[in-house]
Amino acid sequence: MIIDCAHYQDGVRQDEGAVPLEEAAARCKRGGFVWLGLLEPGAQELAQVRDTFNLHELAVEDAQNFHMRPKIELYDGDVRLVILRTARYDDAAEEVEFGEISVFLAPTFVITVRQGVASELGGARQRLEQRPELLAGGSWSALWAILDQVVDDYAPVIAGLEHDIDQIEATVFSGAVAPTERIYSLRRVATDFYRAVHPLLAVVATAERATQAPQLQPYLRDVHDHLLLVNEEAVAQRDLLGTVLEANMAVISVEQTRVSVRQNTTMEQLTILATMFLPLTFITGFFGQNFAWLVDRMHGLPAFLFYGVGGLVVPLALLFIWLKLRMPRASAGALHHGG
């Protein structure tokens, strides 16, 4: 779909509305340049643009393919293909939504093909139209406006990622366990964003060297400086998420150790309790056999206290003494192995 098509000459837009495609191609021969903007065009529409402006078929094929790496390539007829990755941060999903802008750049025309979540280029076109001294620089001025818009739209992505990373960092370094899946997801998002930003440095540097309009070079350098800052932030965020992930794994390990210690303490208490009841169970079972010798001697309170209660108290006392003597040895052995 054609969004806008305009002819610019001497730093001024020549028409109020959009120019038809065939007339735009004819005006390319009159001087100045034509800026044609397309949004997710179909194969037939893109083929018509290719035939009208005599674009290379490989360049058009690259413009049709999504998820291309940012690059700049020179084709026949002094036509360059510039591919940019656009980005928008979704705070709710904690994901970066990517789009692409393919720019066919020639001395007499600029054709932009936007796909996916793309930067809005209407504002870039309007800002450039308000700067006739830059617009007079020809088609390269349109490329500068597009690059400036795309790089400016990276700033909210950096801010959104930084906000979510700060939340996770505060959770982990407070000693609490953060969801590991969330950290992995954000690290993947930060890596994907870095892959979209870093190759663009070479594209902007090439454009700065190739432009033939001296008035545009300071502005392209400014875009390059902003892009360097974005690239450094993307690298720092990716590395920070790696550190946070390691710290979170350490917190998880400490928490698992605490759980293990609590379980061992509980098992130790249950073992002591079971050990205490073992001799009691044996004694009560032994005296519960009702054999004649015991029945004949179990008369009166003294016999009951001696055989019944005494038979339970004495084993408990012996077991208590044994445990008291054994526990210091076990503690000393643990300290020895720990040292």
Would you state the pLDDT for residue 337?
Answer: 46
Would you state the pLDDT for residue 339?
Answer: 47
DSSP 18: P
Would you state the pLDDT for residue 280?
Answer: 65
Residue 126 is encoded by which pair of tokens?
């309007």
Would you state the pLDDT for residue 338?
Answer: 46
Residue 301 is encoded by which pair of tokens?
């309170």
Sign, CA torsion 9/15/21/23: negative
Pick the CATH number of 2-253 from 3.40.720.10, 3.40.50.10490, 3.30.460.20, 3.40.30.10: 3.30.460.20
Would you state the pLDDT for residue 17?
Answer: 81
Q: Are strands 33-39 and 109-116 parallel, antiparallel or unpaired?
A: parallel
Nearest to 48 by CA among 71, 28, 24: 24
Whole-angstrom CA distances from 236 to 33, 35, 102, 190, 229 are: 41, 37, 28, 10, 11
Residue 313 is encoded by which pair of tokens?
């108290």
Would you state the pLDDT for residue 249?
Answer: 72
Q: For residues 246 and 292, what is the distance between their CA atoms, to the nearest angstrom?
A: 73
Q: For residues 262 and 224, what is the distance between their CA atoms, to the nearest angstrom?
A: 57
Residue 339 is encoded by which pair of tokens?
């040292």
DSSP for 173-185, written as a single string: TTTPPPPHHHHHH
Whole-angstrom CA distances from 31 to 9, 54, 129, 211, 250 are: 7, 18, 17, 18, 66
Would you state the pLDDT for residue 88?
Answer: 92
CB atoms within 10 A of CB 322: 11
Q: For residues 4 and 15, what is the distance between their CA atoms, to the nearest angstrom?
A: 11
Check if the beta carbon of residue 86 is closer than 8 Å to that of residue 66: no
- φ, ψ for residue 142, nearest 5 deg: -65, -40
Digitized pLDDT (tens) for each residue of the chain, 339 residues in all? 888 899 998 888 888 888 888 888 888 888 889 999 999 888 889 999 999 998 999 999 988 887 778 999 999 888 999 999 999 999 888 899 999 999 999 999 999 999 887 677 888 888 999 999 999 889 999 999 999 999 999 999 999 999 998 888 887 777 666 677 888 889 999 999 999 999 999 999 999 999 888 889 999 999 999 999 999 999 999 998 888 887 777 666 666 677 777 777 777 777 766 766 666 676 666 666 666 666 666 666 676 666 666 666 777 777 777 767 766 655 555 444 444
Give the DSSP H/E element, type plus range, for residue 75. strand 71-75
Contacts of 7 (CB under 8 A, 6+ apart): 13, 14, 15, 19, 24, 27, 30, 32, 33, 34
Nearest to 112 by CA among 131, 130, 125: 125
Would you state the pLDDT for residue 20?
Answer: 86
DSSP for 217-257, written as a single string: HHHHHHHHHHHHHHHHHHHHHHHHHHHHHHHHHHHHHHHHH
In the chain, which segments carry CATH 3.30.460.20?
Answer: 2-253
Q: Which 3 state secondary structure label does DSSP give 288? A: coil
